[in-house]
Amino acid sequence: MATELQNLSAYNPETVPDASNMHFAVVVSEWNPEITEKLKEGACGTLLRHGVKPENITVVYVPGSFELVYAAKRITGSIRTDAVIGLGCVIRGETPHFDYVCAGVTQGFSALNAEGDIPYIFGLLTTNNLQQAIDRAGGKYGNKGSECAVTAIKMAALACDFK
């Protein structure tokens, strides 16, 4: 469903499992920090609202969105985490660089999910301009970071159901 038809921050809290004993890693791109910091705030705020203890949220920064995949993979080998949330923002420019970065991160997160034992949540904004990113990072369409946190909680609970 297109974002313009549904607010990214809108969800029924009653459908979110108890997250009080869960651990999460949030990997954040430093590129486009005016956007990615808001995504991080949305994700961490939502995790906290659903009972995750502050000490059970690990935030790691990487230089750009392409590096999200590497950090997401490496962090699972070094700390306990029930899910990893990758947050980044790529805004289309004048070169095909946008296409390569978006495709690489998408394929990387898909591979991590196919091979991994925990869920890896794809929180990469891929927008045509800065305004579209602002609209999805706490603006008129809500906050993709919040949506990713809800997804992470639900998928971590699902993963526990299948252990």
**Do 95 and 130 form a contact (C-beta atoms < 8 A)?**
no
| Domain 20-161 CATH superfamily | Lumazine/riboflavin synthase (3.40.50.960)
Over 60: is that where the pLDDT of 1 sits? no
Over 60: is that where the pLDDT of 144 sits? yes
Over 90: is that where the pLDDT of 161 sits? no
- The string of pLDDT tens digits covering residues 6-54 is 888 889 999 999 999 999 999 999 999 999 999 999 999 999 999 999 9
> Where residue 160 falls among pLDDT bands split at 50, 70, 90?
confident
The catalytic position among 33, 97, 107, 129 is 97
Domain boundaries, the chain: 20-161
Over 80: is that where the pLDDT of 108 sits? yes
Q: What is the pLDDT of residue 2?
A: 65
98-105 own/partner pairs: CB under 8 Å, 24+ apart: 98/126, 101/64, 101/65, 101/66, 102/126, 104/66, 104/69, 105/65, 105/66, 105/68, 105/69
Lowest-pLDDT choice from 44-53, 93-102, 141-150: 93-102
E strand residue ranges, the chain = 24-29, 57-62, 83-91, 120-127, 137-139, 142-143
Say how far apart CA 7 and CA 147 lie, in whole Å.
9
Is position 50 annotated as part of the catalytic site? no
Q: What is the pLDDT of residue 3?
A: 64
- The string of pLDDT tens digits covering residues 113-137 is 999 999 999 999 999 999 999 999 9
